[in-house]
Chain A
């Protein structure tokens, strides 16, 4: 019984959302606002049970790890963001979290620069490897603005645009297919789970 009610509610909300294809209307607005409320409502207990209880409450109050009172208090300092007079206090927990950027310096250098360069430096004995090499170099030079893009240099950097256009086209194609598969999923739900036309 609850499953049937659930399917009917899900179908109604799906149709409310799809009604936006006609134009903005009260059904869509209702579904949109409901989505915001339910999503936020979902994350409150989720965070409480999966983050607050195991990592803050239990170690501090049940296992008596009293040193954790310090991050506990630092966390509470976030709430000063809503005070116009003391909002600067909320910078302390933000600063603590921002300390992570120190990890970003060597990690981003390693993962997105050094590893990429290493995988690019292969023997140029294959047409595809040569194309990848030329494409990468021409894209990097395209974003080098200290020299005017004219003459032979300009022509070489324009090859970079071509490579980027192919890359953007491929990414766009992938995005379209991902959205289409979501749409197919919703249509299957309406015709299968709800109306029973698809077995």
Chain B
């Protein structure tokens, strides 16, 4: 009951999806429409899990006066204010909700990811120290591609953009294709394992 029925649901729906792809008909098209319609109804309820989990973590930190608990107040206040603003004034362009998105979310997100530009450089130094011929190949390919995507590469020599194109279209394509074939077979095998109940980690819990 606790595990078998969910596994049966996955198997039946999964087999119907396989049938949908291999036996195209009005019935299979209707099945896809039905599934998508129901999934769109079920999906939004899942966000409550994320919100509740976040609130619980930070509420407990505040309650226990854990180290840096003051910052949890910032998280919860930002969560409540942004949500309230969205519900009170709506989410259209020009509303306070979009003002918060533009002036809080966008700069914070962009700056956080741009920080990686600095750390990726130090990571590259550690990874690229040409200690083997393979590491040297990686280093040279990365440098050529980086130079080939900016104007300084063209300024040095017109060969750099040409070599960049060749790297991307030939050895890079071969690498991507080889890995994609492995990934495709892995995805197929994992999908079958889930459908047949061999892979059950998505069920979580013990019983």
Contact A172 B138, CB 8 Å, known A79-B49, A94-B6, A164-B178: yes
A170 & B145 in contact (Cβ 8 Å cutoff)? yes
B112 & A88 in contact (Cβ 8 Å cutoff)? no
Shortest B122–chain A CB gap in Å is 11
Interface residue? A195 (CB, 8 A) = no
Interface residue? A182 (CB, 8 A) = yes
Chain B residue nearest to A180 (CB atoms) is: B117
Report 11 cross-chain contacts, Cβ distance below 8 Å, ordered by A residue: A33-B74, A33-B75, A35-B108, A35-B112, A105-B188, A105-B192, A132-B174, A134-B174, A171-B172, A173-B142, A179-B117
* Extra contacts besides A7-B103, A91-B6, A131-B171 (12): CB < 8 Å: A34-B104, A71-B39, A79-B49, A101-B194, A108-B184, A113-B181, A136-B178, A166-B141, A169-B141, A170-B167, A179-B120, A182-B114
Interface residues of B (CB under 8 A from A): 2-3, 5-7, 9-10, 12-18, 20-22, 35, 37-52, 54, 68, 71-72, 74-83, 86-87, 90-91, 97, 99-118, 120-121, 124, 134-135, 137-146, 149-150, 166-185, 187-188, 190-192, 194-195, 202-205, 207
B77 & A106 in contact (Cβ 8 Å cutoff)? no
B74 & A169 in contact (Cβ 8 Å cutoff)? no
Shortest A136–chain B CB gap in Å is 5
The tally of CB-CB contacts under 8 A between chains A and B is: 394
B105 & A42 in contact (Cβ 8 Å cutoff)? yes
B171 & A99 in contact (Cβ 8 Å cutoff)? no
Cα separation A13 to B54 with both chains bound (whole Å)? 22
* Shortest 4 CB-CB contacts between residues of A and residues of B: A99-B13, A167-B175, A135-B174, A41-B82
B177 & A165 in contact (Cβ 8 Å cutoff)? no
Report whether over half of chain B's contact residues are helix, strand or loop; otherwise say mixed: helix
Interface residue? A153 (CB, 8 A) = no
Q: B68: which A residues are within 8 A, CB to CB?
A: 29
Cα separation A137 to B6 with both chains bound (whole Å)? 40
A38 & B104 in contact (Cβ 8 Å cutoff)? yes
Q: A117: which B residues are within 8 A, CB to CB?
A: 181
Which of B45, B102, B139, B178 lies in contact with A163, CB distance below 8 A?
B178
Contact A31 B134, CB 8 Å, known A2-B99, A7-B103, A10-B103: no
Question: Number of contact residues on A: which range applies?
Answer: 35 or more
Which of B82, B149, B182 lies in contact with A173, CB distance below 8 A?
B149
Which of A45, A97, A99, A133 lies in contact with B83, CB distance below 8 A?
A45
Contact A131 B74, CB 8 Å, known A96-B38, A101-B10, A112-B184: no
Contact A17 B10, CB 8 Å, known A33-B72, A79-B48: no
Which of B18, B82, B142 lies in contact with A37, CB distance below 8 A?
B82
A164 & B175 in contact (Cβ 8 Å cutoff)? yes
Shortest A67–chain B CB gap in Å is 9
Q: B134: which A residues are within 8 A, CB to CB?
A: 161-162, 165
Chain B residue nearest to A106 (CB atoms) is: B21
For A77-114 the 0/1 string (1 means CB < 8 A from B) is 01101100001100111111111111111111101110
For A14-48 the 0/1 string (1 means CB < 8 A from B) is 10011011000000011111111111111111111
B175 & A71 in contact (Cβ 8 Å cutoff)? no
Which of A6, A41, A137 lies in contact with B81, CB distance below 8 A?
A41
Shortest A126–chain B CB gap in Å is 10
